[in-house]
Amino acid sequence: MTATATRQAEPMAPPFRRRAELIIAGVGMAACAVLQGGFALVITRSDDAALESTIVPALRSAGLDLAEADAHVALNTMAAWFGFSFIVVALCTAIGFFFARLRPRRRATGLCFLAAGLACLFGTQFVLYPVAFFFLVSAALFAVRTATPRSSS
C-alpha cells in the first residue's frame, strides 16, 4: 500500500470555523476605523480656523483643557498617534483574519488579535478601551475554544 492510499483511508477532520472570533474582531475593526480613523481624518484635514472655531470648543466642553497656543499642535500630535496605531491595528487584524481562515485550528492566531487589542489600547492612550475589548475577547476565544469532533451522522 502506498502513502497516498493510506492518507485517503484516514478519516478527514470535520470542518472547523472561527466564525464567532472573526465576527467579534470585525466589529472591533469597524469601530476602530470609525473612531480612530475618523478622529485622525477630521483633525488632520481641518485648517486652523475650523480647528479653533469648532473642534477646540467642543473638546473644552467635554472637559479637555487645551491652551490656545498649543491646541493645534496637541490635536495634530494626537491625530497622528491615532492614525499610526490604527494602521497597526488594521495590519494585525488583517494578518489574524488571514491565518484564521487558513488554519482555524491553530490557537496561535489569537496572538494577532491580542496585538491588535493592545495596539488599540495603548495607541489611543486607553481612550478606546471598549473597542480594544473586542480584540481581547477574540484573542481569548482563540485560546479557549478548541475544535470539537462532530458525529458524521
Are 21 and 113 contacting, i.e. CB atoms less than 8 angstroms apart?
yes
Minimum mean pLDDT range among 16-20, 43-47, 98-102: 16-20
Q: With the C-alpha atoms ordered 104, 107, 111, 113, is the resulting torsion angle positive or negative? A: positive
Q: What does the block give as the cell for 120? A: 488599540
**Rounded CA gap, 67 and 53, in Å?**
14
Where is pLDDT greater, at 64 or 91? 91
Q: What is the pTM of this model?
A: 0.83
Ramachandran sector of residue 126 (left: φ over 0; alpha: ψ -120 to 50; beta: rest): left
Mean pLDDT value across the chain:
88
Answer yes or no: is pLDDT of 9 > 60: no
Strands (E), 16-138: none
What's the pLDDT band for 20 if we cut at 50, 70, 90? very high
Mean predicted confidence (pLDDT) in 111-140? 96
Q: What is the pLDDT of residue 84?
A: 97
What's the pLDDT band for 67 if we cut at 50, 70, 90? confident
Concatenated DSSP letters for 17-41? Answer: --HHHHHHHHHHHHHHIIIIIHHHH
Q: What is the pLDDT of residue 11?
A: 63
Answer yes or no: is pLDDT of 43 > 80: yes
Mean predicted confidence (pLDDT) in 16-45? 95
Give Cβ neighbours of residue 103 (< 8 Å, ≥ 6 apart). Answer: 109
